[in-house]
Structure 1
């Protein structure tokens, strides 16, 4: 294959232009162009790669836990730059410059890597995605706005996407990602990674504040003395019993939760202000609200900034926390600003007391757990998966320092211990202790072969985590780590693992797995590089993921794609996502999951960030039963209430019943079909299928007819009951069930409706027939999948 042919292949990869409805390859944002300069297949490079590189990076270039994948790697942009990296840094883990493969050796290996893993294999893999048919962009828009903005798209947004295509979609999502609900979802995505919500007050009383040392932060419980009439043990008791309904009680909640979420609020601040996500590990500041600023005695980075003071001095605490319904507060607890804490060399989340306590250390562990988490979260590396012999008893009585002298131990510790050493100034409680004694029996502080010493004035040595954060931000694996977190949060599943080829593996199955893995790596590498080119803006990466086949897949040609289980984003909604979908489609959520009801959320597959840290992805019998109960209760509450809203030719405020009214029946009193009424009923059923299940069906579709038959049979049973009430027990009534009647404004804290608006009777059984339809659609598995 000549150079011209390979250049054509790469041009093809950048577009992946297919027929209508197939994946376009456009990931939005700033475009990334690479000048590939391929040579022919380099036999000597192949030999050298197999001899010196395959052990770490895999025979197929798919990587191992000790070596990053080379398929679509971030540094595989051209032969010369890759050759330079090989000659200067390979193999990783050495304390001195490596010269085993430089010069012609490095060029030969680089040429082979570019040809084998970034040319032919990538072309074959991504070409397979032509077998993916994607859903219409308007459906993608509907799913994306529900998932990320907690609402349905507006008519104007649908029109913009219809007229402008993917460019219009990107513009709409850019606006949606400026809405507050988006940051709620973003917090959930990254809390699934960092798990610091363990310390929210709903999970642990003062869980975050109690982790702070009183000597370091004497104002930790400033609110105990902020109100002179309540002090000391009495104040502690009142807070503990949650019976104190004054501003101090609110302060207790908001101070604790602000400290607990400072790392997550850092992500929100970065993304909200379109700052580079590298600041997650490099920021020389933390995030505080008015309540936690007093805890830390922190200084805002902007001396002119001030916290948002609520307009109404009697603003109810209830609006921010249900625990203190009659309390008041003056400052907005959701207003976070960057600040610095005296004496702390901030390095983003790495120096957050919550992060350090959530992933603690001991005198013998020596920060190795923290190192493991850094590699897993920020460098896309699972140290525990590094190949090597690990004796069951893990006891070595022959070596003085096994982690340095025993080869079975050293393989992992060579990677892990340098990063562990960068945490040496932080103790088991997350306190900054720059004078901590550190044993010499552990590798010196460093990362990927770079070593940090006391030379050069010692400033880096005193702030090792700042050094580590900047090194992580420059490591190509950080791109992969961020796209992995976003992929799992949005698509609902983890990335594919590198295929394992062993003696028992089926050759065809392995080949299909390699193609699937390479295609995913190729697309996600492009998404990652697009994010980097757009100033590390993760909004760009999110939009790109939404446009990818992994989110938009509708149907798959299994003749072209054999390994396809990972394509498509039909994911089980988390309890939080379900609540937002209910609000988006019905206007209010389900009280069983409201108010941070931890037990119910866990039963529905949620987490508490403490003992339950993995979400359920396949519904259990209990979850199915909960959905059925939800469907019945929400249909009961939503149906009659929606009919109380205005529906005229000029204004239609209804969410659900935009084409019908309670007096539209399918037959008249003589049993004659009312064709115009039936058409209106079917149009509304079609609308409900689209609104609730995100499916665009023609009126003639079998699903529309099946739902209509349910409506009709329910109505007919109602007519029979009304005609012969004495034949049924209990005796039917035109009065609806009390909780199903429209007596309350469900969208506004169940405030009572005016008598003129209330609907309490259903004489012709039309409303109850629509309740049956709503129950049917809400209990469909597709409602709790998105």
Structure 2
């Protein structure tokens, strides 16, 4: 968007190819040009005028569960918290508008207080709101619907395929495309195939787990002591049992904590329908978790088998013995995707008074695209509630939410409200709540013993499921929350904001439906998001900020994404210390730890979350985040510049167009001698800066552009200063002063790991060859000298670019 943290280029341009709004066509009954930016569709007129103005009063009572609904009113208005409320409301009005008395629609009589309207007169016949409603109702009755092209109304230009491929590779899979992949992505079909390829790579699964943990927050940390609920392997968590070790307890705690996200990873890795996230009747476990659950696994319990997450078609076994003389009671627990995992049940705990409603809220928000906290206006007078017996069921001010929340909460019946993970099929449900169910469908009594499995199977059948998954993935990939319906109808940009909301809402409906039709193939959903204007828009009309909400580049990278971007673009993670540690609990490829990814303190300093105390990422850089990114940029630039020059030009990531001796001037014999330009050196340096602009910042610039000239001048200024200092110091300014800047390890070859004194796997790299004195430098040699002042000049350039806003944002 043009405001906030987005870096959205100004200028009026044509639209690329945003997916058309669901149900939108290319013409209208009125004969207007549907691609005309001034076109106002029936949907938009309803949203901005009818719902936004004329029927706000109606929505308060006629929403499902509201006062009018409780009294049996047939007419319903869905609030804007309901996914695709526009379609639902237009169809509701269309049907109700057919009813008439004495030639006048009942829908136009009721607001005037006629026909025994329970709410009395809420509009007058000469009011603007009533005239808006009358026009809309009559248009629907006459079939005079109008459709417009949502694409043409946005008026934005897309990133080209090459730049899209770069951005997708960095943000989805933490790497940079090869030349062959750039060529493949030149066509739209090739771009789609490249995006699909990215979703099959190890680092994408890390990104996937991060996206979903941001939504569900289950990685807060769950201690292995939760295994006492199952009582299958007490040696994993209880030091009173033989075989116990703190190491096993630690790995078991990690396993039980990571179970929900590993289930999501398994589903996508194995191309299973994503509906299994709530409906899967199998367990995905590693050896630690399998032993805790009392189910079989083909690998022994050992740290090296932590990543052996496999599908097991057995239910977890729960044992209980009240005392030494009583028989052991064994229960098979119901399995419903991640909903039945201890990590989910403990993260979203319940109480005897909450009665599963918090869990219901999380299910609604993340799997049914419904934020119940925004579902209805809060009552002002609390005394109106205390005077009603059981207000959650009998007061319209409460029931508007509870008729939605309580039945889904009933899906968690059987799970103990004091011991979060304990299950007892014989537990009774609460008589003061609505029966378990979903969408007015009651759960059959025979399913009470496995209520969560019944609920999990129903959720994907709801069209909101596809929309909800699309919204979670959108938030993770784009970095913005889905647009909210604008409430200030007097705001100058109200009409544009409504239009932006409509276009995005219809897009969510469309991609959600396509996701469901693909048997919930998450990879295809990712392709749709990357191909959309929300990922690719790059420029638009500067007077249309309201219309361009959520569009464009400029999302602040999370600490994990920034850590991977360092690796993708420079080849080197940011390491706090020179030694690197293997992150053996994240991915099979054995990649090295980045402190931005694995170190909790660094993540929190840079705006990350810990899923417990800190649950919302910072989306605008604070001063300490700026300082942190600058420090990291200087460390990476220092380390990677010399290392890149140890390779032959074809194998370099950053400096393919220059050599160590590509100097802008010939070094002088004395301080009074003039500087002489080196032929062709400036052209090579400028070309390399141009390539760095694309690789690091995603911008295509020309070698004679102002951007390149500015960076070239920085290079020259640093080079001159180094050369001058060397002359004044008698030739003693040619060493690399900081040991971190010396290239002595070959980070790209043959890394091996061995445990240090703390048991952490420490990386060991092959050493670069020693360089004999006065020997010309050859690739593959240790590089600890800067004889031509070019290494430190390029370090300055790299530091400058890695600190750029466009590097810390995408």
TM-score normalised over the length of structure 2: 0.76
Aligned match of 1:123: 148
Question: Which of 191, 209, 218 is matched with 2:232 structurally?
Answer: 218
- Matched residue of 2:680: which SS? helix
Cα distance 1:726–1:623, how it changes in 2: closer, same or farther (>3 A)?
same
The CA distance in 1 between the partners of 2:723 and 2:25, in whole Å, is 73
Equivalent residue number for residue 568 of structure 1: 552
Cα shift readout 1:631-669 (whole Å, capped 9, x = no counterpart): 11111111111111123xxxx111111111111111224
Alpha-carbon separation, structure 2, partners of 1:76 and 1:736:
72
* SS, match of residue 404 in structure 2: helix
For residues 285 and 600 of structure 2, what CA distance do their matches in structure 1 show?
26
Q: 1:195 aligns with which of 217, 231, 235?
A: 217
1:477 equivalent in alignment to 2:464: yes
C-alpha distance in 1 between matches for 2:453 and 2:413: 13
After superposition, give the CA deviation of every residue in 1:569-608 in whole Å (9 maximum; x if it has no partner): 4211111111111111111211235272111110101100
Alpha-carbon distance change, 548 to 735 in structure 1, aligned in 2, over 3 angstroms: closer
The whole-number CA distance in structure 1 between the counterparts of 2:385 and 2:724 is 83
* Aligned residue in 2 for 1:71: 86
Pairing 1:494–2:481 present: yes
Q: Whole-Å Cα distance in 1 between the matches of residues 217 and 235 of structure 2?
A: 24
**Are the equivalent residues in 1 in contact too, given 2:255–2:306 (CA < 8 A)?**
no
2:584 corresponds in structure 1 to: none
Do the aligned residues in 1 keep the contact of 2:13 with 2:156 (CA within 8 Å)?
no
Q: Are 1:65 and 1:382, in contact at CA under 8 Å, matched by a contact in 2?
A: no
Residue 656 of structure 1 is matched in structure 2 by 654
For 2:189, the equivalent position in structure 1 comes to 167
Q: Aligned pair in 2 of structure 1 residues 412, 115: CA closer, same or farther (>3 Å)? A: farther
Which residue in the other structure is 2:440 paired with? 449
SS in 2 for 1:71: helix
The equivalent of 1:152 in structure 2 is 176
Q: Match for residue 538 of structure 1? A: 522
Match of 2:720 among 716, 721, 745: 716
- Counterpart among 626, 640, 648 of residue 646 in structure 1: 648
Distance 1:410 1:281 in 2: 26
Deviation by residue 1:106-130 (Cα, 9 ceiling, x = unmatched): xx999949979xx63x62544312x
CA displacement 1:376-399 (0-9 Å, x = unmatched): 111111222232443576895433
Given the alignment of the two structures, is residue 177 of structure 1 paired with residue 199 of structure 2, yes or no?
A: yes
SS, match of residue 755 in structure 1: coil
Match of 2:165 in 1: 141
Cα offsets for 1:21-41 (capped at 9, x unmatched): 7321359xxx99999999999
Residue 282 of structure 1 corresponds to which residue in structure 2? 279
Q: Which moved more, 1:179-188 or 1:386-395?
A: 386-395
1:376 aligns with 2:365: yes
User: Do structure 1's residue 678 and structure 2's residue 682 form an aligned pair?
Assistant: yes
Q: Is the 8 A contact 1:128 1:561 kept in 2?
A: no
Q: CA deviation at 1:155?
A: 0.9
Question: 1:38 touches 1:115 (CA, 8 Å); kept in 2?
Answer: no
TM-superposed deviation, 1:223: 8.1
Query: C-alpha displacement at 1:772, in angstroms?
Result: 0.6
Question: Contact between 1:531 and 1:538, CA under 8 Å: does it hold in 2?
Answer: yes
Q: Deviations over 1:34-53 (max 9, x none)?
A: 9999999999xx99996987
More divergent stretch after superposition (595-604 vs 708-717):
595-604
Partner residue, 1:468: 455
Identify the residue that residue 696 of structure 1 maps to in structure 2.
700
Aligned to 1:421: 410
Residues 585/435 of structure 1: CA separation in 2 closer, same or farther (3 Å cut) = same
User: Are 1:551 and 1:567, in contact at CA under 8 Å, matched by a contact in 2?
Assistant: yes
Give the CA deviation at 1:479: 1.6
2:573 aligns to what?
589
Maintained 8 Å contact 1:288/1:336: yes
1:771 aligns with 2:806: no
Q: Deviations over 1:345-380 (max 9, x none)?
A: 211111111111110111111111111111111111
Q: Is the 8 A contact 2:278 2:338 kept in 1?
A: yes
The CA distance in 1 between the partners of 2:405 and 2:498, in whole Å, is 29
2:113 corresponding residue in structure 1: none
| Aligned residue number for residue 425 of structure 2 | 434
Asked if residue 267 in structure 1 is aligned to residue 268 in structure 2, the reply is no
d(CA) in 2 for partners of 1:47, 1:570? 35
Describe the shift of the 1:114–1:299 C-alpha distance in structure 2 as closer, same or farther (beyond 3 A). Answer: farther
Query: How far is the alpha carbon of 1:740 from its aligned partner?
Result: 0.9
**Residue matched to 1:516:** 500
8 Å CA contact 2:360–2:409 kept in 1: the answer is yes
Q: Secondary structure at the match of 2:792?
A: helix
**Residues 15 and 152, structure 2, Cα contact 8 Å, conserved in 1:** no
- Aligned position for 2:104: none
Q: 2:63 aligns with which of 56, 72, 77?
A: 56
Cα drift, residue 737 of structure 1: 2.4
Report the count of equivalent residues: 669
Deviation per residue, 1:233-256 (Å, 9 max, x gap) = 8976x62xxxxxxxxx3x444433
Q: State whether structure 2 residue 374 is matched by structure 1 residue 385.
A: yes
Structure 1 residue runs of 5 or longer lacking an equivalent are: 1-18, 84-99, 101-107, 200-206, 225-230, 240-248, 301-305, 310-316, 318-327
The CA distance in 2 between the partners of 1:694 and 1:539, in whole Å, is 24
Shift of 1:403: 1.8
What does 1:626-637 correspond to in 2, within 5 Å?
A: 626-637=628-639
- Partner Cα distance (2:285, 2:159) in 1: 42
**Distance of 1:732 and 1:174 partners within structure 2:** 50
- The CA deviation string for residues 161-206 of structure 1, in whole angstroms up to 9 with x for no partner, is 12x2x1100111111111111111000000101111111xxxxxxx
* Residues 599 and 393 of structure 1: CA distance in aligned 2, closer, same or farther (over 3 Å): farther
Distance of 2:27 and 2:665 partners within structure 1: 73
Q: Secondary structure at the match of 1:133?
A: strand
Distance 1:636 1:560, change over 3 A: closer
Distance 1:288 1:35 in 2: 48
* Structure 1 residue 711, shift from structure 2 partner: 0.5
Alignment of 1:401-416 (within 5 A): 401-416=390-405
Contact kept in structure 2, 1:72 and 1:522, CA below 8 Å:
no
Q: Distance in 1 between matches of 2:264 and 2:175?
A: 22
- What is the rounded CA distance, in whole Å, between the counterparts of 1:114 and 1:598 in structure 2? 62
Provide the rounded CA distance (Å) in 2 between the counterparts of 1:64 and 1:113: 23
Between the aligned partners of 1:483 and 1:113, the Cα distance in structure 2 is 34
Paired with 2:500 and 2:50, the residues of 1 have a C-alpha distance of 26
| Secondary structure class of the residue paired with 1:463 | helix
The residue aligned with 2:746 is 745
How far apart are residue 414 of structure 1 and its match?
1.9
Deviations 1:286-324 (A, max 9, x none): 210122111111247xxxxx45x9xxxxxxx9xxxxxxx
| Structure 1 residue aligned with 2:8 | none
Q: CA deviation at 1:277?
A: 1.4
Distance in 2 of aligned mates of 1:171 and 1:47: 43
C-alpha distance in structure 1 between counterparts of 2:291 and 2:279, whole Å: 24
User: Retained in 2: the 8 A contact 1:126–1:518?
Assistant: no
Change (3 A) 1:573 1:34: closer
Deviation of the 1:690 alpha carbon: 1.0
SS at match of 1:270: helix
SS in 2 for 1:662: coil
The whole-number CA distance in structure 1 between the counterparts of 2:399 and 2:292 is: 43
In the aligned structure 2, how far is the partner of 1:375 from the partner of 1:26?
A: 26
Tell me whether 1:785 sits opposite 2:787 in the alignment.
no
- SS of the residue 1:212 aligns to: helix
SS in 2 for 1:276: coil
Does the aligned pair in 2 maintain the 1:359–1:370 contact within 8 Å? yes
Structure 2 stretches of 5 or more lacking a match? Answer: 1-11, 31-41, 67-75, 99-116, 118-135, 318-331, 577-593, 669-674, 752-762, 772-780
